[in-house]
Amino acid sequence: MYVCSCFGITETQVREHAAGGACTPRQIASASKAGTDCGSCVRRIQSLLGRGGCPRRELLSETLAGASETAVQAVQAVQDLPEAA
Ligand code: FES
């Protein structure tokens, strides 16, 4: 299915660019030109990227969530240490 009719860019192509690291409409435009003419496809591209279309973004979110959890555990461990006399 075409996402950008101005440049003939399909949903599959947008997903491929996203898998390659393009996680914003601007990056998709740099990779494919999609969204750089009439602009009517930009919202559609944004929604594709927001719905699991960007594997790197999800990986980053999971990594940050894990790092945040680790930081909380580290703070709790420090708080549990006995105070030095
Ligand atoms: S439909 Fe994508 S720039 Fe026009």
pTM for this one?
Answer: 0.66
C-alpha of residue 36 to centroid of ligand 1, in Å: 6
Ligand 1 atom with the smallest distance to the CA of 35 is 3
- Residue owning tokens 């979110």: 61
Q: Which domains does the chain have, with CATH numbers?
A: 2-80 (1.10.10.1100)
d(CA 47, CA 63): 22
Ligand 1 atom with the smallest distance to the CA of 39 is 3
pLDDT at 74 (0 to 100): 78
- Residue owning tokens 């006399």: 85
Q: List per-block mean pLDDT (blocks of 10 residues) for the chain, which spans 85 residues.
A: 97 94 93 96 94 68 74 78 72
C-alpha of residue 33 to centroid of ligand 1, in Å: 9
pLDDT at 31 (0 to 100): 95
Ligand 1 binding pocket, CB closer than 6 Å: 4-6, 34-41
